[in-house]
Amino acid sequence: MATPDIVLTRIDNRLVHGQVGVVWTSAVNANLLLVANDAAASDPLQQELMTATAESSGVGIRFWTLEKTITTIAKASPRQHIFLVIKTPEDALKLVQGGVPIKEINVGNMHFSEGKEQISKKVFVDQADKDAFNELIDAGVKVYIQDVPEEKQDVLSKF
């Protein structure tokens, strides 16, 4: 199997919204948004809202569980320029450990919740997030915070 053309992998706890669906999709010339998230894969309402955003950008969209992403992404057509959107660092780690060829991860939004500390304007992490980021970095994945394409990448080092 050929390696899938993953043009960007982004962690964003909102998954697909205007910024992802319009700004990032055009910046990386993606023609397919792949939402790898177990909950979204089985939630028709979430899918409907995200599909509307994708359609406004003229790109296709798929909603797969993490497991389906691991077992199926290698079958992607070379014509598919995939923008992989995931919700958490832990999900990213599962995909990498499952063999999905992710070389870089863009961290967009990880909202505040109890027990999380702020590491950038829009990124809050707890120990589980830090552990997952450390494992990703150890696996050779470049992890960086970048809200919009015009901003400079803030590359994460181990916590």
- The residues carrying an active-site annotation are 17
- Pure H helices in the chain: 18, 25-27, 44-57, 66-72, 89-97, 127-138
**Residue-wise burial string across 20-36, b where 16 or more C-beta atoms lie within 10 A, e elsewhere:** bbbebbeebebbbbbbb
Name the β-bridge partners of 63.
35
64: β partners? 36
Tokens 């970095």, residue located: 137
Q: What is the DSSP string of 46-82?
A: HHHHHHHHHHHHT-EEEEE-HHHHHHHGGG--TT-EE
Q: Which residue has the tokens 């960086």?
A: 144
